[in-house]
Amino acid sequence: MTPYRFVILQWSVIIIVLGGLLYLLNPILTPFIAAAILAYICDPAVNRLCAWKLPRVLATLVVMLALFGLLALLVLIMLPLLSQETQLLITRFPEWLDAVQNKLLPYLQQRFGLSLQWDNATIKNFLISHGQSAGGAAATVLPWLGNSSSALLTMLMNLVLIPVALFYLLRDWPLLLAHIEQIIPRHSHAKVLEISREVDSVLAEFLRGQIATMLLMSVFYAVALSLAGLQFALPIGILAGMLVFVPYLGVVIGLLLATLAAFTQFSQFSDMLIVWVIFGIGQLLEGMLVTPWLVGQRIGLHPLVVIFALLAFGQLFGFFGLLLALPLSAALLVGLRHIRHWYLSSALYL
């Protein structure tokens, strides 16, 4: 066996072993992967504080407090909104029952010949009778909750592990990078560092583009919902825009909250339809124009490639594939550029 083939065999064994380990450890990797992504995002802020003569441990704590403070702020924005909308929903529920009885049912009977009986007293009796069977439903649900206790415990453990892993990763990030650099084969050291720097530059542009997308979509939703006359336009718009970094999560949560707010505020279906149209337009703008323009252009991906990457990674890896589609595509793009350069200078092409 030639030395070249022996090296290929060695690397093949290493890749297979690492791939097998990742597959076997997949159930416990989620908090560590999430912490590593957050550490990569937050490391420049820690380095900036360290440049101001702040100890790295203290800088790490400051950045983590700012990060979790921002998350707490989003929660504080959402909870009062949900509380107010729930109270308004309970207050206006009898009005909706009367509207259904006095307007919708006569319209259906006149328009389509449907004869439906609707009586508020019957609905109350229905709720009371089913409320009495709540104990049986609870008895049915409790065993399921017991069977799901391990999944719930795993979720709680992940929530605890993420900040712990994030702290140690942020504190030791330069040391970890130095250790990784030491194990790079010497004959490939320069090329690997070159590619790594290019990938890092592309990912930095991706983060800047994603932040710009979040801000732009927040402004769009807040302004559009305000023009539609929605009472809670500002918090709903901010929340929907800030969550666009998770594909479909921002629009789903924003649409649900806006629909609930519109139900409690508007009496005409046309006003509700305007709110739905706003979120439909926002989703089209974000997916077909804003993300390809602000993110795809920054990382050197054509808009069609951005759309294809979202669909392809989502199909292959599900939710996390959607989340990591663009940064992974950007990293692959850097590798493909170097492969193309090697191919054009190889004997195969010449």
pLDDT digit string, tens, across residues 30-42: 788 778 888 888 8
23 part of a folded domain: no
Of 72-81, 136-145, 188-197, 274-283, the least confident:
136-145
120 and 255 inside one domain? no
> Structurally, how many domains does the chain consist of?
2
Q: What is the pLDDT of residue 319?
A: 60
99 and 124 inside one domain? yes
Q: What is the pLDDT of residue 32?
A: 83
Q: What is the pLDDT of residue 323?
A: 63
Q: Put residue 301 in one of left, alpha, beta given phi > 0 → left and psi -120 to 50 → alpha.
A: beta
Instruction: Give the residue with greater pLDDT, 201 vs 168.
Output: 168
% residues pLDDT > 90 (the chain): 10
16 part of a folded domain: no
The encoded tokens of residue 175 equal 């040391």
338 and 199 inside one domain? yes
155 and 201 inside one domain? no
Domain edge (last residue) among 175, 197, 232 = 175
pLDDT tens-digit readout, 13-25: 888 888 788 777 7
Find the domain containing 256 and state its range: 188-350
251 and 321 inside one domain? yes
Instruction: Give the residue with greater pLDDT, 205 vs 301.
Output: 205
- Nearest Cα to 326, choosing from 20, 70, 74, 37? 37
Q: What is the pLDDT of residue 92?
A: 65
d(CA 210, CA 51): 26
d(CA 320, CA 249): 12
302 and 260 inside one domain? yes
Q: What is the pLDDT of residue 82?
A: 66
97 part of a folded domain: yes
131 falls in which pLDDT band (50, 70, 90)?
A: very low
Q: What is the pLDDT of residue 303?
A: 62
The residue type of 244 is V
13 part of a folded domain: no
17 part of a folded domain: no
Classify the C-alpha dihedral 178-180-182-185 as positive or negative: negative
237 and 304 inside one domain? yes
pLDDT(179) > 50: yes
Domain edge (last residue) among 175, 207, 222 = 175
Domain edge (last residue) among 175, 199, 234 = 175
Is residue 142 classed as helix, strand or coil in its secondary structure? helix
